[in-house]
Amino acid sequence: MDWRECAITLSQNLRVTILIAVFLAPQLAFADILWQDCVTTWKYTANSAYLSNLIQLSATLTEKASTSPTLFAMDSAGTVPDTVYALALCRGDTNASACGDCVANAFQDAQQVCMSSMDVTIFYDPCYLRFSNQNFLDSSLNNKQHIVPNGENVTSPAAAFDAAVGVLLNAIVDYAVLNSSSRFGTGEVNFDKSNPNIYALAQCTPDMSPDVCRACLDQIVKVMPKHFSGRQGGRILGLRCNYRFELYPPFSGSPLVHLPAAPGSAVTPPPVDKEGTKNKAITIPVIALVTISSALTFTLVCLCVWIRRKPQGFVLYSSNKENNESIDLFMLDFSKLQVATENFAQRNKLGEGGFGAVYKGSLPDGQQIAVKRLSQGSNQGMEELKNELVLVAKLQHRNLVRLIGVCLEEQEKLVVYEYMPNKSLDKILFDREKSKDLDWGNRFKIINGIVRGLQYVHEDSQLKIIHRDLKASNILLDLHLNPKISDFGLARPFVGEQSKDVTNRVVGTFGYMAPEYFIHGHYSIKSDVFSFGIMVLEIVTGRRNCSSYNSQQSFHFLTIIWKHWTQGTILEIVDPFLRGFPEDQVLTCVHVGLLCIQENPSDRPTMSQVNAILSTNTSSLQNPSKPAFCSRATNTDSDPHQEVRSATCKPAVVSQNEMSITELEAR
Confidence at residue 180, expressed as pLDDT on a 0 to 100 scale = 72
Confidence at residue 508, expressed as pLDDT on a 0 to 100 scale = 67
Q: Which residues are annotated as a binding site for ATP?
A: 372
pLDDT above 70 (res 399): yes
Instruction: Tell me how crowded residue 542 is: count the other CB atoms within 10 A of its CB.
Output: 23
What residues form DSSP beta bridges with 242? 203
pLDDT above 50 (res 285): no
Instruction: Tell me how crowded residue 608 is: count the other CB atoms within 10 A of its CB.
Output: 16
pLDDT above 90 (res 308): no
Cβ neighbours of residue 635 closer than 8 Å, sequence gap 6 or more:
none
| Cβ-count burial 99-136 (b if 16+ within 10 Å, e if not) | bbbbbbbbbbbbbbebebbbbbbbbbebbbbbbbbebb
Report the candidate in 491, 474, 534, 494 with the shortest Cα–Cα distance to residue 667. 474
- pLDDT, tens digit, 9 for 90 and up, residues 134-158: 999 988 889 888 999 877 888 888 8
Higher pLDDT, 286 or 621: 621
Averaged pLDDT for residues 578-591: 91
Q: Confirm whether 333 is a catalytic residue.
A: no
Instruction: Tell me how crowded residue 582 is: count the other CB atoms within 10 A of its CB.
Output: 11
pLDDT above 60 (res 404): yes
- pLDDT, tens digit, 9 for 90 and up, residues 87-129: 999 999 999 999 999 999 999 998 788 888 999 999 999 999 9
Query: Could you give phi then psi for residue 76, rounded to 5 degrees?
Result: -145, 160
Cα dihedral 387, 393, 394, 395 sign: positive
> SS3 string of 37-51?
EEEEEEECCCCCHHH
- Mean pLDDT over each residue of the chain, to the nearest integer: 77
Residues in the chain: 667
Cβ neighbours of residue 576 closer than 8 Å, sequence gap 6 or more:
542, 641
Confidence at residue 68, expressed as pLDDT on a 0 to 100 scale = 93
Report the candidate in 417, 480, 485, 492 with the shortest Cα–Cα distance to residue 452. 485
Strand pairing of 257-259 and 282-283?
parallel
Helix (H) or strand (E) holding 427: helix 425-429
Report the candidate in 165, 167, 157, 162 with the shortest Cα–Cα distance to residue 284. 167
**132, 42 Cβ separation under 8 angstroms:** no
Instruction: Tell me how crowded residue 187 is: count the other CB atoms within 10 A of its CB.
Output: 30
**What CA–CA distance (Å, rounded) separates 350 from 448?**
26
> SS3 string of 98-146?
HHHHHHHHHHHHHHHHCCCEEEEEEECCCEEEEEECCCCCCECCCCCCE
- pLDDT, tens digit, 9 for 90 and up, residues 256-282: 988 875 444 334 344 444 334 444 444
- pLDDT, tens digit, 9 for 90 and up, residues 364-375: 878 899 998 887
- Using a pLDDT cut of 90, give the percent of the chain over it: 39
Confidence at residue 663, expressed as pLDDT on a 0 to 100 scale = 34
- Rg (C-alpha) for the chain, rounded Å, is 28
Distance of CA 240 to the CA centre of its chain: 11
Given 109, 174, 192, 469, which residue is catalytic?
A: 469
**481, 446 Cβ separation under 8 angstroms:** yes
Confidence at residue 497, expressed as pLDDT on a 0 to 100 scale = 52
pLDDT above 70 (res 608): yes
